[in-house]
Chain A
Amino acid sequence: MSRSLSAVDEAFRQKAVDWLDGHVADFGLPAREGLSLEQDVELARRWQKVKSENGYAVISWPAPWGPGGTVTQQALFATEESKRGFPAGHLVISLGMPTPMVLRYASDELKERFVPPAIRGETLWAQLFSEPAAGSDLAGLRMRAKRQGDDWVLSGQKVWTTLAQFCDYGVCVARHDPSLPKHKGLTYFIVDLKAPGVTVRPIRQLTGEVHFNEVFFDDVVVPDAYRLGGVGDGFKLAIETLMMERYTAAADETGFGPTLARFIELAAETPGVRGETALDDGGVRAEIARTYALQQGLVAIHGRALAEMSAGRTPGPEGSIHKLASVRHRQHLSTLALDLLGPDGLRQAPGVNPKTDFHYSWLDAPTLRIAGGTDEVLLNTIAEKILGLPQDHRPDKGVPFDEIPS
């Protein structure tokens, strides 16, 4: 075990830091202040283009797609990028799940057509899995895919689709055969979100933002060439996609929320009940120390997952554990921060930067405890897959989908 970086990685990091510092004014936190989500996504696309022209897009991807760097380098870059507030988050899904799935399963022709523009940020990709009736029970999805000559015709509804209102394409799971047990009747497709019959309706969240959408498919024609994997492989591919979602190299090692430094700053500005400032308060100090301890654990889990990926293995439960621990803690720390903010804590969130605004962070945490695998689903996975405990009851197992009571 070793915590220090190799000379090569350290040199990479230093070069990346210099390069990033040169772009902060145009694309970093200062450039994003006051932008609408639409403008911010636009800035993110342009930032992606600049990265792609300088060898910093998809760093760990092999030629011809990426520069063939290591996963460690990609993670180092993402950490430095996140520290400076670049809008890379808007591309985490596009380049994190759908595009890699296209690379794994699409024909060479489609890879050539779809992947390079996605890497340059010219096209954005969405992941269309959840439906109104299929949340934790993903395999219970109802969207239909009917074969029609060389095409498929998709109809139904997806929901909670991140950034779909800005996306050009997506990957989508649909039911080709309702007479099969639910996991077996699913097939995975590329869909063109600008195609006739697709309607995107944004959903406003508690935070006031509109990151999510409902996406309606009304007899949307999809060529069979857009099918990824075999007919009936949909669930397997969906799980493969979700495994990428639960651990992406871009994960924020200390847990997505505001930094500990920001909390200390806030405590130092707040008059204390048990001391001159809140920073003199034993309870607040203990909380800071506890957060520090927790974050060391999170950083180590992150490191373990990266090491697994660098070695070409798929990370195990690290993603689930990181997500469970970090989001709960983020919520806890934000609760304390709102206390410190006093009457200013009552206002509508002044900003939506998860790194600096406790307000936003607090309102957003409940979403993160649901999105990408709820706490309960993650705990089930840990209990069943790691502890080897019996599977939770699944009364619909093996039952043809169209015979499951709805």
Chain B
Amino acid sequence: MNFDLTDDQAMMKETLDRLLSERANFETRLKLTQSGEGWDRKLWTQFAELGVLSLPFTEEHGGLGGGGVETMVVCEALGRALTLSPFTPGVVMVAAALRSIDALRASELAEAIGSGAHIIAFAHEEAHTSDAAFGVETRAERTSEGWSLTGTKLAAPFADSADALIVTARISGKGAHDDVGVFLINAEAAGLSRRKLMAFDGAPGADIVLDNVRVDETAALHADGGGAELLERLLQAAIAANAAEAVGVMQMLIDATAEHLHTRKQFGVTLGSFQALQHKAAEMLVAIEQARSTAMYAAMMVDEPDALVRRKAFAAIKAETGRTGRFVGQTAVQLHGGLGVSEEHFVGWGLKRLTMLDLAYGDAESAVAELAALGGLVET
């Protein structure tokens, strides 16, 4: 295995880091959470100009053909800058969703997204979706022209700004994975209403009510009978992206914490000269390196062909990164003292974002349960 970035990947990282440090600093983020749409569309256009928004789409679809590692590089940079952007739902997950639709339509979508003009959000979570596809109660019923969707989706990130939504819905039955469908629907469709909300890390989103929303055949992104598999791949793409973003946030936090320990003085010396605090910072570093390795593992596993191997890998990734992030976030806040719990300081927002990433698309406890249920954890 080779863990070094290629020249192209390293250049992308450098360019993005520079852009974000100039354009997406913490003061800007605070302002964004307090007004308007809650994220920066101008910055999004600059992402488009850099090719970031075309990155994970295949060359066949007019994209740059980036893989898991390229996505990881971008998400880590976004995490480090605590950037509010719909990159994961609007680019990474869409790229994963275009696998089974016809090439012309996929190219059109990839182009629209790559240009920065078209925003897509992922509306999956419901009251009872703590575990992957289980608990989807939104229903998709057959009509003469296609489908009719009815149900309620909760706290979909960036959905209030989206032009279209990827919506999961149950085609038939109640509990089984293979009854779920994945649909791309216009956010302005008749029968669809959105209620704007703010997540606790300041990111915008919306609850969505679908009341008999009628769509044609082409809205279905899944192949017949392949909805659950597609949904699983979407969630895995998101988990990999979130794992990388979490590493970026964690890296930013440990840098800030080390800086604070070097400069803040109490008892006439720097905080860093107290061994109890050194040990805490060292534990953070151990955790981050563990998380970084896990994010790399995730980047490599998104394209693993064996579904069972992939499922096990992503359950492990989900179980690991979320909790690690919370530990790092909490420790960074603790070592910053009062600053850490003040809204005007970025450290606390790092903890909030890490918690959000832990909770998004299933929680750590459920991932552990899934892993235990899957079995086969040791070779016999």
Contacts and interface: CB of A to CB of B under 8 A. Distances in A.
Interface of A: 130, 133-137, 140, 159-160, 203-206, 208, 212, 270-271, 273-274, 281, 283, 331, 335-336, 338-340, 342-349, 359, 362-363, 366-367, 369-371, 374-376, 379-380, 392-396, 399, 404-406
A273 B315 CA distance: 14
B177 to A, nearest CB: 14
B344 A347 contact: no
A376 B277 contact: yes
User: Which of A134, A271, A374 has the most chain B CB within a 10 Å cutoff?
Assistant: A271
| 4 closest cross-chain pairs (CB), A and B | A396-B268, A137-B266, A343-B125, A204-B343
B337 interface: yes
Contacts of A393: 267, 269, 273-274
A343 B266 contact: no
Nearest to A368: B341
Contacts of A206: 341-343, 348-349, 351-352
A344 B205 CA distance: 12
A366 B330 CA distance: 7
15 contacts: A130-B338, A135-B266, A135-B337, A206-B348, A206-B351, A212-B338, A273-B131, A283-B365, A331-B330, A339-B363, A339-B364, A343-B126, A344-B155, A348-B199, A393-B274
A146 B364 CA distance: 57
B370 interface: yes
B142 interface: no
B340 A348 contact: no
B130 A271 contact: yes
A102 B135 CA distance: 60
B128 interface: yes
B155 A347 contact: yes
Contacts of A160: 338
User: Which of B200, B340, B363 has the most chain A CB within a 10 Å cutoff?
Assistant: B200
Contacts of A212: 338, 342
Contacts of B10: none
B297 to A, nearest CB: 23
A136 B130 contact: no
Given A273-B130, A346-B356, A349-B200, A159 B338 contact: yes
Contact of B128 (A336, A342, A395): A342
Interface in B312-358: 326, 330, 333-334, 337-338, 340-344, 348-349, 351-352, 355-356
B105 interface: no
A263 to B, nearest CB: 14
B276 interface: yes
A394 B273 CA distance: 11
Nearest to B351: A366
Contacts of B364: 339
Contacts of B365: 273, 283, 336, 339
Given A208-B343, A271-B135, A347-B199, A379 B130 contact: no
A346 B343 CA distance: 18
B127 to A, nearest CB: 7
B369 interface: yes
Contacts of B338: 130, 135, 159-160, 212, 370-371
Contacts of A392: 274
A77 to B, nearest CB: 31
B360 interface: yes
Nearest to B342: A203
A369 B366 contact: no
A362 B354 CA distance: 13
B265 interface: yes
A338 B276 contact: no
Contacts of A137: 266-267
A395 B267 contact: yes
B154 interface: yes
Contacts of B307: none
Contacts of A369: 334
Contacts of B268: 140, 394-396, 399, 404-405
B212 interface: no
